[in-house]
Amino acid sequence: MRLRRYVLFRVLQLVPVALVVIVLNFLLIHLAPGDVAILLAGEDADPTYMASVRAAYGLDLPFHEQLLRYLGQVLTGDLGLSYRSRQPVMDELMARVPATLMLVGTALVIAVTVGVLVGTLIARRPGSAVDSVVSVLSISLFSIPVFWLGLMLILWFAVHLRWLPSSGMGSVGGPREGMAMVMDVARHMILPAVTLATVWVGQYVRLARTSVSEVLAENYIVTARAVGYGEGTVLLSHALRNALLPVVTVLGLQIGLALTGAVLTETVFSWPGLGRLIYEAILARDTPIIMGAFIIMSFTVALASLATDLLYAALDPRVSL
Amino acid sequence: MNRARVEVVVRHLIRNPVTVVAGLVVLAAVVIAAAVPWLALPDPEAMDFVPYSPPSAEHWFGTDNYGRDLFSRILWGTRVALVVAIGSSALSTLLGIVLGSLSGYHGGLSDAIMSRTFDVFLLIPTFFLVLLIVALFGASLGLTMVAIAMTTWPRSARIMRSQVLTLKTRTYVQAALAAGASAPQVLMRHVVPNGLAPIVTDGTILMGLAILTEAGLSFLGLGDQNTVSWGRMIFEGQRHLRLAPWMSIFPGLSMLLLVGALNLLGDGLNHALNPQLRTRGGAPRHVPPVPPPADEPTVEDPAAPMLDVRGLRLVYRIGRREIRAVDGVSFVLPRGGSLGIVGESGCGKSSLGAALLQVIPANAELTAGEVRFGGRAILLGGRPVAERGRRPRIRDLRWARFSIIFQSAMNALNPVFTVRRQLVSAYRRHRPDATPEAAAARVFEVFDLIGIPRQRIDSYPHELSGGMRQRVMIALALLLEPDMVIADEPTTALDVLIQDQILGEIDALRRRLGVTLILISHDMGTVAETCDRVAVMYAGQIVEIAPTATIFERPAHPYTRALIGALPSLTGARRALASLPGEPFVAAGDVAGCRFAPRCGHATDLCRATTPPSVAVAPDHASLCHFADAMVAAPLPEATA
């Protein structure tokens, strides 16, 4: 029961975020130079379509009624129509979610696993030469512009060595089912996933390093050593769970940045996900898609922060629900 | 920050070569950005050269598809990068400082609303907002900066708010307000400067983020068309990746260099401001054990004392400083005996406890000393003694024979595990054959002994009261029926009533189970009730050791006398504590003379010049004082007041 109330409470806290995002969206489009109808319907739209957009958004109504109407629309999942395809923005976005999810998920798993592993090992010797070198290296990694790294990997592994495909999610005329297809997709995913993971891993190395070494200074670790546990047990079963708490927090807070990286990486590798869709929308000046993407991304970030809180509560018994 | 603190920070900064190099790179970027119009470079927009020329002596970074010189374009790009970096972070920080200060200063409802606003804005993904703004309003550097600032200001606002909240209750801020200064004045003069350090640190990292954001936009074709930006160069370069890879390589490298330098600088600043970040924690260093001495017993001798400690030394290495926390400690503790170790915090008493059990922090090292447990050596020359091969003897003794009760208020129990999990797994660690049920049964046995309700076994440490948590710690220490227990400040941070209860329980258990006890405390009264001998520690040394009654009746060291004077009397009126002037002595570097001399009312030139010998004032009573004999003879002025 307490859990349900807590979840409800946290979901209610998302309401202001949603409102700010939607109102911001609304204000921006009205502040933008040019006719709102043209922004939403496209410059060379036929008059009937233009009229239907005007009607749908209530553009002839007073300002505050437009806002209310817009709020209602967005909250019911109506993000308007893409003017390129004339398909609902929501459907267009949702169709691209699986590809992005697969790429971001894979890269995050790699980055977090490798990062926590390396960070934990380094944490055993804070202040050592290895610690300093790894620390500088990690900072350098997250200072790399992700799209540039993507290009460099293409240059080396696809152009120079010809080991891996440089773009898309599957080979043209390649296998369309079974293991063969899975392998083909996996081959295409290697470079984009490695690109993202490389840029992200430094962050997790540093987080895990700081967090584990802080925990190793705690008294309960001294207790564990005094009780006679080996150093491996102390690290893995007594320290890591405590040390993961800040990693989880940051993981949740960084989803926005992670999605940014995904958009840029998908653009480089022509990965058919949300990022690619946004890029295409920018090229075509498809404003409804860009607005919809902003709303969806903001909601995703907000939900991720909620998920983080819940995960944190599950990991730390001191957080009372 | 005052001047001295600034100096410390600067010294930390320049001692770190990485930070210095990073700082120089940023400085170089600033110089290049400022001086680039006056450098003899080709016009970055002039299409004067052969397109697609690879890097050469003439064109260091080659030329692009229009025949423009890339080296010149990259140097001009530094300008854009820095403008974006400084512009957005200045805007963001300014906004954050103002709103954060207001929120923290006013408090109450407006603070609640504002800090919720910070949270909401932090959740808006910067890049996608910027994308939308630029897509709607057209690409321009200024808009990009505003958009970056709009989603990043809550970072500095949060820092500022918490600074203001902590500082506004400080006396000097209160005094300034009382003296008639207006609130904005006080904020500007006293509060903002104090919060600035972490904001500057965050600001450098923000600069890197801004550069990457702008570059990302440009890469998507949303960059300002009128500027030469590194991101746009990569955007143009990717179409010619195969033909002219240098078009992408060099702008990216420049960006990596500048953003990396900014991030490293931020990191260096952070560490200079919080030097403890770097070396806290860590795993203890491995010290290769020594083989057992051939001429000594390999099995325990029931007639030998439980613990025999000779010349034990433990040093902490903090930077280049060596602090001798335990500096030549020797004592003998018979089986079933109880020794109290008393001293101020920082005297090395807890380090001594950890050293005996060989569980010392990573930055500590045992440099000398012998420890024998039941006559069997477990530490020789500061190194663990191995049984056969490489396994240190102490490993088989820890907890099964020799355990320690930590001060539970200090997180001695793992907060994320239940009591059951911690106790059962400790038991099974040493009794691998025991089932979880058998282990739990043993836990209940000890619970009953100590008076912990059985249902507490499924609690988490934070769900227990302080006294109950301490009892659980005691239960953990007694779980395996050890012969010897060290109790390290077991009652500190508990209220007086519970203190007495716990001490009484420890004393009763000791007598009932025949456990040998070392009780570490800062309080003479605590050890007086429980221990038959008392050792007084000062600056890493035992300055006096004697039977408990003797030490109270005939103290032979001025420090002991001060500690006894600091004992509140139960009979007469509560006397003013004879507080000791001065700071406790820290043994680092060469020590000449008596360590207590600077704070001693009786110190003479002899004390300041010559290290005092250990004076045996009685067969069982030693004192580290030149005037021990005189001290014993001197009456206690307030002893029985």
- In terms of C-beta density within 10 A (0-12 exposed, 13-18 middle, 19 or more buried), how is residue B619 classed? exposed
Cβ distance of B281 and A268 shorter than 8 Å: no
Residue B488 lies in a domain: no
As a whole number of angstroms, the distance between CA B235 and CA B145 comes to: 20
Alpha carbon separation from B24 to B55, B145, B208 (Å, rounded) = 26, 25, 16
Tell me the residue length of chain B: 641
Buried residues in B204-230 as b, exposed as e (16+ CB within 10 A): bbbbbbbbbbbbbbbbbbbbbeebbbb
Q: Which residues, in sequence order, are CB contacts of B5 under 8 Å at separation 6+?
A: none
Output the pLDDT for position B140.
Answer: 84
pLDDT digits (tens, 9 = 90+) for B12-68: 777 788 889 999 999 999 999 898 888 878 888 878 888 888 888 888 888 888 888
How much of chain B, in percent, has pLDDT values that exceed 70? Answer: 93
Instruction: Answer whether A265 touches B (CB < 8 Å).
Output: no
pTM of the model: 0.82
pLDDT digits (tens, 9 = 90+) for B548-563: 999 988 898 988 888 8
Lowest mean pLDDT among B169-183, B300-314, B480-494: B169-183
Question: What SS3 state is found at A9?
Answer: helix
Closest residue to B282, CB basis, from A31, A216, A267: A216
- Region B457-462: mean pLDDT is 90
Q: pLDDT tier at B573 (50, 70, 90 boundaries)?
A: very low
- Interface-testing mutation among A120, A147, A215, A253, with chain B (most B C-beta atoms within 10 A): A147
Domain's final residue, options B243, B276, B309: B276
Instruction: Answer whether B145 touches A (CB < 8 Å).
Output: no
Could you write out the three-class secondary structure of B582-631?
CCCCCCECCCCCCCCHHHCCCCCHHHHHCCCCCEEEECCEEECCCCHHHH
Instruction: Answer whether A138 touches B (CB < 8 Å).
Output: no
Closest residue to B132, CB basis, from A28, A143, A151: A28
Instruction: Answer whether A319 touches B (CB < 8 Å).
Output: no
Q: Which amino acid is at B414?
A: N
Q: How is residue B507 written in tokens?
A: 């004393």
Cβ distance of B460 and A317 shorter than 8 Å: yes
- In terms of C-beta density within 10 A (0-12 exposed, 13-18 middle, 19 or more buried), how is residue B112 classed? exposed
Residue B20 lies in a domain: yes
Residue B420 lies in a domain: no
Instruction: Answer whether B128 touches A (CB < 8 Å).
Output: yes
- Region B262-274: mean pLDDT is 85
β-bridge partners, B544: B536, B623
Tell me, what DSSP letter sits at residue B291? P
Domain's final residue, options B276, B298, B323: B276
Output the pLDDT for position B517.
Answer: 93
Cβ distance of A32 and B137 shorter than 8 Å: yes
Instruction: Answer whether B136 touches A (CB < 8 Å).
Output: yes
Cβ distance of A317 and B120 shorter than 8 Å: no
pLDDT digits (tens, 9 = 90+) for B466-482: 888 888 998 999 898 89
Question: Contact, B465 vs B484, CB < 8 A?
Answer: no
Could you write out the three-class secondary structure of B438-453?
HHHHHHHHHHHHHCCC
pLDDT digits (tens, 9 = 90+) for B441-451: 999 988 988 88
- Region B114-129: mean pLDDT is 83
Q: Which amino acid is at B544?
A: E
Size of interface A-B (CB pairs under 8 A): 241
State how many domains chain B has: 2
As a whole number of angstroms, the distance between CA A216 and CA B281 comes to: 5
Chain B hits for A31, CB-CB cut-off 8 Å, are: 136-137
The nearest CA of chain A is from the CA of B177 a distance in Å of 36
Of the candidates B441, B470, B465, B467, which has an alpha carbon nearest to the alpha carbon of residue B454? B441
Residue of B nearest to A252 (CA): B123
Contacts with B, A 21-40, CB within 8 Å: 21, 24-25, 28-29, 31-33, 39
Contacts with A, B 445-474, CB within 8 Å: 460, 462
Using the predicted structure, report yes or no on whether residue B373 has a pLDDT greater than 70: yes
Output the pLDDT for position B569.
Answer: 45
Q: How is residue A66 written in tokens?
A: 């437009």
Instruction: Answer whether B526 touches A (CB < 8 Å).
Output: no
β-bridge partners, B622: B545, B616
Using the predicted structure, report yes or no on whether residue B206 has a pLDDT greater than 50: yes
- SS3 breakdown of chain B: % helix, strand, coil, rounded to 5? 50, 15, 35
Output the pLDDT for position B30.
Answer: 93
Residue of B nearest to A241 (CA): B416
As a whole number of angstroms, the distance between CA B187 and CA A189 comes to: 53
As a whole number of angstroms, the distance between CA B298 and CA B302 comes to: 13
Name the average pLDDT for chain B: 84
The nearest CA of chain B is from the CA of A277 a distance in Å of 12
Per-position pLDDT tens, chain A of length 321: 566 777 787 788 788 888 888 888 888 888 888 788 877 877 777 888 888 888 888 778 888 888 888 888 888 888 888 877 888 889 988 998 899 999 999 999 999 999 999 998 888 887 788 888 998 999 999 899 999 999 999 989 888 888 888 777 777 777 777 788 888 888 888 999 999 999 999 989 988 888 888 888 888 988 999 998 888 888 888 888 888 888 888 888 778 888 888 889 999 998 999 988 988 888 888 888 888 988 988 888 888 888 888 888 878 877 765
Instruction: Answer whether B113 touches A (CB < 8 Å).
Output: no
Residue of B nearest to A302 (CA): B123
H or E element at residue B517: strand B516-521
What CATH number is associated with residue B47? 1.10.3720.10
Residue of A nearest to B16 (CA): A132
Closest residue to B234, CB basis, from A147, A218, A317: A147
Residue B558 lies in a domain: yes
Residue B561 lies in a domain: yes
Cβ distance of B18 and A159 shorter than 8 Å: no
Q: In the β-sheet with B516-521, what is the strand arrangement from edge to edge? A: B402-405, B484-488, B516-521, B338-342, B533-538, B541-547, B621-623, B615-618
Instruction: Answer whether B416 touches A (CB < 8 Å).
Output: yes
Cβ distance of A154 and B220 shorter than 8 Å: no
Tokens 């990746």 found at? B241
In chain A, the domains with their CATH numbers are: 2-75 (no CATH), 89-315 (1.10.3720.10)
Instruction: Answer whether B153 touches A (CB < 8 Å).
Output: no
Cβ distance of B278 and A294 shorter than 8 Å: no
Output the pLDDT for position A170.
Answer: 74
Domain's final residue, options B211, B244, B276: B276
Tell me, what DSSP letter sits at residue B413? S
As a whole number of angstroms, the distance between CA B306 and CA A192 comes to: 64
Output the pLDDT for position B641.
Answer: 35
The alpha-helical segments, DSSP class H, found in chain A are 2-31, 36-41, 47-57, 63-75, 89-123, 129-141, 146-153, 178-216, 219-227, 231-233, 240-253, 255-269, 274-283, 287-315
Question: What SS3 state is found at B317?
Answer: strand
Output the pLDDT for position A266.
Answer: 92
Q: pLDDT tier at B1 (50, 70, 90 boundaries)?
A: low
Total Cβ atoms within 10 A of residue B451: 11
Q: Which residues, in sequence order, are CB contacts of A104 under 8 Å at separation 6+?
A: A196, A258, A259, A262
Question: Contact, B141 vs B84, CB < 8 A?
Answer: yes
As a whole number of angstroms, the distance between CA A125 and CA A205 comes to: 14
More confident residue, A255 or B520: B520
Instruction: Answer whether B490 touches A (CB < 8 Å).
Output: no
Using the predicted structure, report yes or no on whether residue B544 has a pLDDT greater than 60: yes
C-alpha torsion A302→A304→A310→A316, nearest 10: -120
Closest residue to A220, CB basis, from B284, B399, B411: B411
The nearest CA of chain B is from the CA of A179 a distance in Å of 32
As a whole number of angstroms, the distance between CA A125 and CA A127 comes to: 6
Q: Could you list the residue range(s) of the whole structural domain that residue B50 is in?
A: 3-276
pLDDT digits (tens, 9 = 90+) for B499-516: 888 888 888 888 888 899
- Region B191-195: mean pLDDT is 71
Residue B90 lies in a domain: yes
ipTM for this model: 0.88
- The sign of the CA dihedral A213, B318, B272, A129 is negative
Using the predicted structure, report yes or no on whether residue B425 has a pLDDT greater than 60: yes
Instruction: Answer whether B641 touches A (CB < 8 Å).
Output: no
The alpha-helical segments, DSSP class H, found in B274-362 are 276-279, 349-357
Total Cβ atoms within 10 A of residue B301: 12
- Interface-testing mutation among A220, A274, A309, with chain B (most B C-beta atoms within 10 A): A220
Output the pLDDT for position A18.
Answer: 86
Chain B hits for A257, CB-CB cut-off 8 Å, are: 125, 127
Q: Which residues, in sequence order, are CB contacts of B370 under 8 Å at separation 6+?
A: B308, B309, B310, B311, B312, B377, B379, B380, B381
Residue B316 lies in a domain: no
Of the candidates B356, B216, B352, which has an alpha carbon nearest to the alpha carbon of residue A256? B216
Tell me, what DSSP letter sits at residue A196? H
- Interface-testing mutation among A23, A162, A222, with chain B (most B C-beta atoms within 10 A): A222
Residue B172 lies in a domain: yes
Phi and psi torsions of A118, nearest 5°: -65, -45
pLDDT digits (tens, 9 = 90+) for B330-365: 999 999 999 999 988 888 888 999 899 998 888 889
Q: How is residue B48 written in tokens?
A: 């004067």
C-alpha torsion B199→B200→B202→B206, nearest 10: 120
Q: Which residues, in sequence order, are CB contacts of A202 under 8 Å at separation 6+?
A: A115, A137, A138, A139, A140, A141, A142
